[in-house]
Amino acid sequence: MVTPESKPPKRSSQKKDARDAHAAVHRALRTGELVRPRWCDDCGGVEVPSCYIVAHHDDYSRPLDVRWLCLRCHIRAHRPRRGVGSARYARTGTG
């Protein structure tokens, strides 16, 4: 039986920090404290209708310290880092 004391919190601290950081960026964009650039900080790609520039947090404890990334680079930033010797990327066969 699950007791109230043994229930995990509804939101983890990291999710709350992420939500708060995203809200801070939206507020800063509305007030002009932050300005969304038209290019990606990683690849230099220019914003076009099919490539929107989004804010990426490397550290949620610094909510306005963001990198502006295109969607492709933003997805790449959230993928888990895999080592060079990762089994998933190991070559098999002769090719």
pLDDT tens for 12-32 read: 788 899 999 999 999 999 999
Say whether pLDDT at 39 is over 70: yes
- The structure's pTM equals 0.66
Number of other residues whose CB lies within 10 A of the CB of residue 53: 21
**pLDDT 10s digits, 49-60:** 667 899 999 999
Q: Is the dihedral of CA 75, 59, 29, 19 positive or negative?
A: positive
Residue that the structure tokens 């060079």 belong to = 84
The pLDDT, as a whole number, for residue 89 is 41
More confident site: 11 or 31:
31
CA–CA dist 56, 8 (Å, integer)? 28
